[in-house]
C-alpha cells in the first residue's frame, strides 16, 4: 500500500474490505464518494495471482484510473467499444497467454487489473469466452462491479446493461464479486444482490461462511458546509448574487452550478460569465451537449480553464475532480426530478472529494415550489419528494446534518449508523452549517398562528362548497385578491356548471389575512411541510405520466389540521 499507492493508513472500512477480498468472499461495500473505494480492490489485485476484472460505467473514470495505476507501475488495461482493433488484439492476446500459463504468482507482464464497460459483458461473446479461459486457468481473481446501484431500477442511475451482469455469476459461479456503490439504501441493496445473483447478506453484517459480507462507511462528510440562501425573485438578480458569491468566496476555485433545465444551464453559464466581466469562466453540460464537447469541457475543467460548470443533473457520474470547492443549486425543484433530498445529497456531494472544505449552497424561494410544482410533480410520489426537500430548505433552526440524518433514516430506510458511525453522533449538531452558525439576531421570527388558522378556515369553507385551490390560488384568495370569490369545480359526472362563490371573510375567518404575497406563500409551504395541508390530484391514477394542469391540483386540510 505504501510502496505502490503511497498510502500510509487505511481509511473507513478499507481494511475490512481488503481482508474479505483476500478471503475470496462476495462483498458489498457502500462508501461515500471520495471515501476511497478504489483501494479496496486495487490493493488485493496486487496481492493475489491473476487478473481482477473491473466493470465501470464511465470511460472517463476508467481512463483516469488507468493513468494513475500506470504511473504507479501497475499493469492495468481497459477495454471499451472504442478500443482500437490492434490494441484490442494485443490485450486479448496477453489475457489468453495468461490464461494458459502454468505459472502462478507475479509474472512481469501479467495484467493485474482489466477495466471494461458493462456492454463488453452484455454484448461481446469473444470477451466472455476469453473470461471463461481465464477462469478455467484459475486466473480470474475477482469481479468488481463499480457503481453497482446502476443495476437496480429502484436506484437513481439505472443502466440496462448492468442488469445483464447477472451472467457473470451464472457463468463463473466461483469467482467472488465485489459490488461498490456510494448510494445504496437497503431495498436497492437487496435488488442488487438478486440481480447480480450474489449470496444473501444475513443480518446486515454478520455473514455465514459463504454469505455476502456487507460493509458501509458513514455517509456524513464533515468537510461539506451546507447553506440555504434566499433566492432573489428576479433571474437577473440571482445571477448577480451567485456571481458575487463566487467572486467573494471562491475567486479561483472550481465549482458546479446545478440548474433544472438545459435552457437554464445555458443561460446561467452565459450570464454569469457576462456579469462577472469574464472573471468567471463557465462551461455548459447537459444531455444535449455533443460527446466531443463534453470531453473537452471535462478537460478544461480539470485544467482550470473553465472555473464553473453550469449543468443539469446529467453532470454526475464520472466527475473525478477532487478539488471541487463549491456546488450551487439554482433551484430547489432540481431535487424532485431526481430523488428528493437523496438527489440533493448526491449532487452537492460532488464537492470536496479530496477531503478539503467545500461549500454546498441551495438557493431557495418558496415560490419556486408553489408555482412550478404542478408542472414538475405529476403524481403523489413527486409531491412527497418535493415536501422532503422543502422541509429541509424551509428549516432555519435545525442543523443540516441532523436534517439529513433524519431524512435518510425515515425515507431511505437507512439506519442512523449508515449516516455516522454511531447513533448519538448522528444527532450532534455539526457546528458549521448555516443553521449552526447563524446568529440568533439574524433570524426574524414571526408568530403566524392566527394567520395559519385563518388560512385553514378559508380553505375549509372553499372545500365545503366544492371549490379547489392551488397554493397560489389560496394565497390570493386569503389575501382578498380577485374580488374575494372562487369557482367551484363544475364538470364531473353530472356536468354541473361552474359556480362563482363569494367568500365572507369576516364570518369565515374573522377577516382577510394580512400578509405580503411572499410571506403568505412561505407560510402555506410551511403548513404543507408540517402536514396541516396536503395536495391532491384529480387526475386518474391509471393514466401514466399525466400532465397535471395547475387547475387539477388542489390543496386540502389534513385530518391532523381538522383535529
Ligand atoms: P471513491 O471511488 O470512493 O469515490 P477514490 O477511490 O477515488 O474514492 O479515492 C478518493 C481519493 O482518496 C483518491 O485520491 C485516493 O488516492 C485517496 N485515498 C484513498 N484511500 C486513502 C487512504 N487510506 N488514505 C489517504 N488517501 C486515500
Ligand atoms: Zn449544523
Which atom of ligand 1 lies nearest, measured to the CA of 5? Answer: 16
- Please tell me if the CB atom of residue 10 comes closer than 6 angstroms to any atom of ligand 1: yes
- Please tell me if the CB atom of residue 316 comes closer than 6 angstroms to any atom of ligand 1: no
Which atom of ligand 1 lies nearest, measured to the CA of 320? Answer: 7
**By C-alpha distance, which of 149, 147, 154, 150 is closest to 115?**
147
Which atom of ligand 1 lies nearest, measured to the CA of 33? Answer: 4
Q: How far is the CA of 61 from the centre of ligand 1 (A)?
A: 14
Number of H helices, E strands in the chain: 25, 17
Which atom of ligand 1 lies nearest, measured to the CA of 14? Answer: 23
Q: Which three cell numbers stand for residue 462?
A: 372553499
| pTM of the model as a whole | 0.73
- Please tell me if the CB atom of residue 11 comes closer than 6 angstroms to any atom of ligand 1: yes
pLDDT at 166: 94
Alpha helices, H only, 330-448: 334-337, 340-348, 366-376, 380-394, 400-410, 423-426, 434-437
- Please tell me if the CB atom of residue 35 comes closer than 6 angstroms to any atom of ligand 1: yes
- Please tell me if the CB atom of residue 37 comes closer than 6 angstroms to any atom of ligand 1: yes
- Phi and psi dihedrals of 253, rounded to 5? -100, 155
Q: How far is the CA of 67 from the centre of ligand 1 (A)?
A: 15
**By C-alpha distance, which of 345, 349, 341 is closest to 322?**
349
Q: How far is the CA of 400 from the centre of ligand 2 (A)?
A: 5
Cβ atoms within 10 Å of 371's Cβ, excluding its own = 16
Ligand with the closest atom to the CA of 31: 1
pLDDT at 550: 40
Strands 533-537 and 282-285 turn out to be unpaired
- Please tell me if the CB atom of residue 34 comes closer than 6 angstroms to any atom of ligand 1: yes
pLDDT tens digits, residue range 109-161? 789 999 999 999 988 899 999 999 999 999 999 999 999 989 988 776 788 99
Which atom of ligand 1 lies nearest, measured to the CA of 1? Answer: 23
- Could you write out the three-class secondary structure of 70-105? HHCCCCEEEECCCCCHHHHHHHHHHHHHHHHCCCCC
Q: How far is the CA of 436 from the centre of ligand 2 (A)?
A: 4
Cα angle 199-29-42, degrees, rounded to a multiple of 5: 105
CB-based contacts of 68-75 (< 8 A; 24+ apart in sequence): 69/42, 69/113, 72/4, 72/5, 72/6, 73/4, 74/4, 74/42, 74/46, 74/112, 74/113, 75/109, 75/110, 75/111, 75/112, 75/113
Mutate to test the pocket of ligand 1, among 5, 29, 36 (most ligand atoms within 8 A of CB): 36
pLDDT at 551: 43
What DSSP letter does each residue of 474-521 carry, written as one string? Answer: HHHHHTT-GGGEEEB--BTTTTBPP-EEE--HHHHHSS-----HHHHH
What DSSP letter does each residue of 356-382 carry, written as one string? Answer: S-EEEEEEE-HHHHHHHHHHH--SHHH
CA distance 441 to 447: 16
Q: How far is the CA of 430 from the centre of ligand 2 (A)?
A: 4
Which atom of ligand 1 lies nearest, measured to the CA of 354? Answer: 11
Cα angle 16-18-19, degrees, rounded to a multiple of 5: 65
- Please tell me if the CB atom of residue 7 comes closer than 6 angstroms to any atom of ligand 1: yes
Cβ atoms within 10 Å of 167's Cβ, excluding its own = 12
**By C-alpha distance, which of 410, 351, 417 is closest to 217?**
417
Cβ atoms within 10 Å of 259's Cβ, excluding its own = 26
- Please tell me if the CB atom of residue 98 comes closer than 6 angstroms to any atom of ligand 1: no
Kindly report the protein residue whose alpha carbon is nearest to atom 17 of ligand 1: 36
Bridge partners of 28, per DSSP, are: 179, 214
CB-based contacts of 196-204 (< 8 A; 24+ apart in sequence): 196/145, 196/148, 196/151, 196/165, 196/166, 196/168, 196/169, 197/166, 197/169, 197/170, 198/26, 198/28, 198/169, 199/26, 201/28
Q: In 3-state terms, what secondary structure has residue 390?
A: helix
Which atom of ligand 1 lies nearest, measured to the CA of 182? Answer: 3
Residues of the chain where predicted confidence (pLDDT) is lower than 50: 105-106, 204, 374-377, 539-552
> DSSP class of residue 316?
B
Q: Which three cell numbers stand for residue 69?
A: 495505476
The dihedral over CA atoms of 157, 161, 162, 163, expressed in degrees to the nearest 10, equals 110
- Please tell me if the CB atom of residue 33 comes closer than 6 angstroms to any atom of ligand 1: yes
- Please tell me if the CB atom of residue 526 comes closer than 6 angstroms to any atom of ligand 1: no
Ligand with the closest atom to the CA of 33: 1
Amino acid at each position: 500500500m505504501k510502496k505502490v499507492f503511497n498510502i500510509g493508513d487505511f481509511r473507513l472500512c478499507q481494511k475490512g474490505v481488503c481482508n474479505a477480498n483476500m478471503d475470496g468472499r462476495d462483498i458489498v461495500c457502500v462508501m461515500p464518494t471520495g471515501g476511497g473505494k478504489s483501494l479496496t480492490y486495487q490493493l488485493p489485485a496486487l496481492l493475489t495471482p491473476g487478473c481482477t476484472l473491473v466493470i465501470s460505467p464511465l470511460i472517463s473514470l476508467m481512463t483516469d484510473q488507468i493513468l494513475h495505476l500506470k504511473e504507479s507501475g501497475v499493469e492495468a488495461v481497459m477495454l471499451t467499444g472504442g478500443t482500437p482493433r490492434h490494441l484490442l488484439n494485443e490485450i486479448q492476446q496477453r489475457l489468453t497467454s495468461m490464461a494458459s500459463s502454468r505459472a502462478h504468482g507475479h509474472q512481469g507482464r501479467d495484467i493485474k487489473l482489466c477495466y471494461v464497460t458493462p456492454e463488453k459483458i452484455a454484448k461481446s461473446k469473444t470477451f466472455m469466452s476469453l473470461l471463461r479461459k481465464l477462469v478455467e486457468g484459475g486466473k480470474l481473481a475477482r469481479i468488481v462491479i463499480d457503481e453497482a446501484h446502476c443495476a437496480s431500477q429502484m436506484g437513481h442511475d439505472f443502466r440496462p446493461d448492468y442488469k445483464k451482469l447477472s451472467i457473470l455469476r451464472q457463468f463463473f459461479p466461483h469467482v467472488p464479486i465485489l459490488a461498490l456503490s456510494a448510494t445504496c439504501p437497503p431495498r436497492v441493496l437487496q435488488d442488487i444482490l438478486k440481480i447480480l445473483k450474489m449470496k444473501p447478506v444475513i443480518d446486515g453484517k454478520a455473514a455465514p461462511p459463504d454469505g455476502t459480507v456487507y460493509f458501509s462507511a458513514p455517509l456524513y462528510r464533515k468537510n461539506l458546509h451546507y447553506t440555504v440562501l434566499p433566492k432573489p425573485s428576479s433571474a437577473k438578480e440571482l445571477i448577480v448574487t451567485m456571481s458575487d458569491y463566487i467572486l467573494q468566496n471562491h475567486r479561483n476555485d472550481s465549482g458546479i452550478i446545478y440548474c433544472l433545465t438545459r435552457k437554464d444551464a445555458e443561460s446561467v453559464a452565459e450570464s454569469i460569465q457576462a456579469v462577472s466581466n469574464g472573471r468567471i469562466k463557465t462551461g455548459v453540460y447537459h444531455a444535449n451537449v455533443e460527446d466531443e464537447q463534453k470531453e473537452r469541457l471535462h478537460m478544461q475543467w480539470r485544467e482550470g480553464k473553465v472555473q464553473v460548470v453550469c449543468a443539469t443533473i446529467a453532470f454526475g457520474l464520472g466527475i473525478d475532480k477532487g478539488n471541487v470547492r463549491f456546488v450551487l443549486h439554482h433551484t430547489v425543484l432540481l431535487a424532485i426530478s431526481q430523488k428528493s433530498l437523496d438527489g440533493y445529497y448526491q449532487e452537492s456531494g460532488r464537492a470536496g472529494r479530496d477531503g478539503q472544505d467545500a461549500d454546498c449552497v441551495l438557493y431557495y424561494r418558496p415560490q419556486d415550489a408553489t408555482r412550478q410544482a404542478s408542472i414538475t410533480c405529476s403524481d403523489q410520489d413527486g409531491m412527497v419528494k418535493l415536501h422532503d426537500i422543502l422541509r429541509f430548505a424551509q428549516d432555519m433552526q435545525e442543523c443540516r446534518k441532523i436534517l439529513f440524518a433524519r431524512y435518510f433514516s425515515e425515507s431511505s430506510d437507512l439506519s442512523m449508523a449508515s449516516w455516522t458511525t454511531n447513533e448519538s453522533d448522528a444527532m450532534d449538531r455539526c457546528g458549521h452549517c448555516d443553521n449552526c452558525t447563524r446568529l440568533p439576531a439574524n433570524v426574524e421570527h414571526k408568530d403566524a398562528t392566527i394567520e395559519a388558522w385563518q388560512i385553514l378556515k378559508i380553505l375549509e369553507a372553499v372545500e365545503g362548497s366544492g371549490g379547489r385551490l392551488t397554493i397560489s390560488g389560496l394565497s390570493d384568495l386569503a389575501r382578498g385578491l380577485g374580488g374575494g370569490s372562487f369557482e367551484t369545480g363544475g364538470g364531473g359526472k353530472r356536468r354541473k356548471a361552474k359556480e362563482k362563490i363569494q367568500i365572507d371573510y369576516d364570518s369565515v375567518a374573522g377577516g382577510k389575512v394580512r400578509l405580503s404575497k411572499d410571506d403568505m406563500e412561505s407560510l402555506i409551504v410551511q403548513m404543507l411541510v408540517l402536514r396541516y395541508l396536503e395536495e391532491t390530484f384529480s387526475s386518474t391514477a391509471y393514466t401514466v405520466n399525466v400532465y397535471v394542469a395547475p387547475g387539477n391540483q388542489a390543496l386540502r386540510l389534513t385530518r391532523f389540521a381538522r383535529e
